[in-house]
A and B are shown apart, each in its own frame.
Chain A
Amino acid sequence: MLEMKQLNKVYRTHLIETHALRDFSLSVREGEFVAVTGPSGSGKTTFLNIAGLLEEFSGGEYWLDGVDTRGLNDDGRSRLRNEKIGFIFQGFNLLPDLNLFDNVDVPLRYRGLPAAQRRERIESALARVGLGARQKHYPAELSGGQQQRVAIARALAGQPRLLLADEPTGNLDSMMARGVMDLLEEINDQGTTIIMVTHDPELAARAQRNVHIIDGQVSEVERGPQLGRREAATDPNAAAA
């Protein structure tokens, strides 16, 4: 699903060079739920940006779902991002000017789907996160947990192969956080690969596998206890059709 080999990422200013990632290699298989942890400044965010095709890298290889991302220009990366990746942000990142329906609609619009298909997907995605009745509401009218559910619905509506979550519960109280985690697990059960960046060890423990990043390198890989069960997941290609 995701294959990073010897990735390097260097930030340059006129004074210093910072190696955010150094010979970074990671492989994530179809249907996995991976938690990425590490202290701040370790390169977690850079990893997420590169995995999400938001940033380019300086050296190495990155294959996403069988596509070599090295040769892609900005447009190509936009299309790949749109089709294969769903994002869940710490700050939810809903567009305040749009109601829930329109927020979920955003990635579908860029994919150019016909109106009827978009409507169907939006309604089912919102229904799935339990907000089917509030399509016309604006983000400001919702609680944080509800906003994050909308963000998840937005990510799901695109039927992505890979869901990238950046501290998805960071801005939520523990009650709401648990609900969001339940939802993510449910999604993963249905075959979507999830990579979640977090610094919360409790959350990380709920993933199948933990990747710890220190100084831009993968320092340690832990196997989660429930790995065996998840490997028998349903065919994820069915969901991406």
Chain B
Amino acid sequence: MFTYYLRLAVTSMRRTPVLTGLMVLAVAMGIGASMTALTVLRAMAQNPYSHKNEVLRVPQLDSWNPESAYDEEGNPPDQFTYRDARALLDAGKADYQSAQYRTGLSIQPEQDSLLPFNASIRVAGSDFFQMFEPAFRYGNPWTRADDARKARVVVLSAELNDKLFGGENSVGRDVQMGDERYRIVGVLEPWLPMPRVYDLQEPFEEAEDAFIPFETAVDKEMGAHGNNNCWRSPEKPGYAGQLESECIWMQFWVGFDDVASVAAYRQFLDDYVRDQKALGRFERPLNNRLSTIDEWMTRKEVVQRDSRTQVWIAFGFLIVCIVNTVGLLLAKFLGRSGEVGVRRALGASRRQVFAQFLIESGMVGVAGGVLGLLLTGLMLAGMRALQDESYGHLTRIDTEMVGITLIVAIGATLLAGLIPTWRACQIAPALQLKSQ
């Protein structure tokens, strides 16, 4: 019977191509708009490290201005001073810990064919690789021993290795960066944690071109390409003054093998701040945090307000499209009251008429869903064109989204079909095709 209803639906749709087209187009537009907005929202809100959500943590210490909180909600600062990062690194109380920031270096390729260029550099500890687990194509991360001896070592991204060495195994070779040569210890596979959890200042940027040890970068007096906030100016000039200052400019991450260790680390942070209070720092009330990744993403408002607004408006749009479909289906089904009367006279039960018309609604949904999927692809391309390059990573549609799209489309039209179908079922069996 199902195939019979399907055939009737197709026949009916082909008989009224304009009305059917209008309905399909309306459903497709609503689906396209809402799925586009939802795709972007989902990409923004996802946590690429959800499997390590509890064991990767962001400590926050309230080292800020005694007179004014860091922000209106009274949160502690979202970055670290060098002094506190140094102290936490030296204490080494977590299983993994890394202070990090972003900087830039000019790279002078050996080939004459390549001009010198600027590369973005992530400055981090060797534990960074244990915590964020980028896959290595060649070689390995540097070691804690390399950290300790401020080794001039570097891990290249796949893209930089392709550019400099044509994708060959470059481990053991050197690369001139700034005024020094760095030994290549590892090359990553292409890596795109989206959002870029380890540094949420620019959550949708790609990972950096290369990674060097934190201790090395500090030794070489490299500044941060990123926010540097000071509630009090450094007392001394230059890099030494920056290191001693209360300015916050680096990110700090800790990792644990076991969630059970988190409580002890929390205690350690509180003890550390109490000790510092005794030294005259940390005049604000004790306000430490040790956030999970999810908590951190919420605090850093990774999902932009515009994207949320777009989702709400897009779903409003979808509702209008559904209401529109209700109206058109109503017109279409009531226009066939003669047919319903005859079918009823020939023995169709209400349930059979209901099934026939609901399946026709569902068919509109399937067609609308497929067209909506195409529109979603087009609209996402439009979004890419309107936004900057990094936005491209947010506008990929995966199989799960395809599934969701079709289900929403069919579900929405079935919903839209309910009232018109119910009305069609109410039509009495008749001996006359009244509309003829």
B residues near A (Cβ < 8 Å) are 1, 4, 11-12, 15, 338-339, 342-352, 428-433, 436
Instruction: Spell out A's residues near B (CB within 8 Å).
Output: 45, 48-49, 52, 54-55, 74-75, 78-79, 81-83, 85, 87, 89-91, 93, 95, 97-98, 106-107, 109-112, 154, 158, 166
Interchain CB contact (< 8 A) of A107 among B338, B339, B346, B431? B346
Contacts of B1 in A (CB 8 A): 109, 112
Known contacts A79-B349, A87-B431, A89-B342, then 14 further A-B pairs from the complex at CB < 8 Å, ordered by chain A residue: A52-B345, A54-B428, A54-B429, A75-B351, A78-B348, A81-B345, A91-B433, A93-B431, A93-B433, A97-B15, A106-B343, A106-B348, A158-B346, A166-B431
- C-alpha gap A97/B429 in the complex (Å): 19
Q: Is the CB of B432 within 8 A of A106?
A: no
Q: Output the least CB separation between A106 and chain B (Å).
A: 5
Q: Which residues of A contact B4 (CB under 8 A)?
A: 109
B residues near A93, Cβ cutoff 8 Å: 338, 342, 345, 431-433
Give the docked Cα–Cα distance between A134 and B7 (Å). Answer: 20
Could you say which of A55, A82, A97, A154 contacts B11, with CB atoms under 8 Å apart?
Answer: A97
Are the C-beta atoms of B347 and A111 separated by less than 8 Å? yes
Given contacts A75-B351, A98-B11, contact A110 B432 (CB under 8 A): no
State whether B339 touches A95 (Cβ < 8 A).
Answer: yes
- B432 and A78: CB pair below 8 A? no
Q: List 30 A-B contacts (CB under 8 A).
A: A49-B431, A52-B429, A52-B431, A54-B345, A54-B431, A55-B428, A75-B349, A78-B348, A78-B349, A78-B350, A78-B352, A79-B347, A81-B345, A81-B346, A82-B347, A83-B347, A87-B346, A89-B433, A90-B431, A91-B433, A93-B338, A93-B342, A93-B345, A95-B339, A95-B342, A97-B15, A106-B342, A109-B1, A110-B349, A166-B431
Q: A112's closest neighbor in chain B, by CB?
A: B1
- In the complex, the chain B residue whose C-beta lies closest to that of A54 is B429
For B433, the chain A residues whose CB sits under 8 A away are 89, 91, 93
Q: Are A74 and B349 in contact (CB under 8 A)?
A: yes
Contact B345 A110, beta carbon cutoff 8 Å:
no
B347 engages A81 (CB within 8 Å): yes
Cα A55 to Cα B428 with chains together (Å): 8
What is the CB-to-nearest-CB distance from B339 to chain A, in angstroms, rounded to a whole number? 5
Q: Which residues of B contact A45 (CB under 8 A)?
A: 431
CA distance A81 to B345 in the complex (A): 7
Kindly provide the distance from the CB of B204 to the nearest chain A CB, expressed in whole angstroms: 52
Q: A91 to B433: give the CA distance in the assembly, Å.
A: 7
A179 to B348, CA, bound (A): 30
Q: How far is the CB of A87 from chain B (nearest CB, A)?
A: 6
Bound complex: CA of A45 vs CA of B431, how far in Å? Answer: 9
Residues of chain A with a CB closer than 8 A to B342's CB: 89, 93, 95, 106
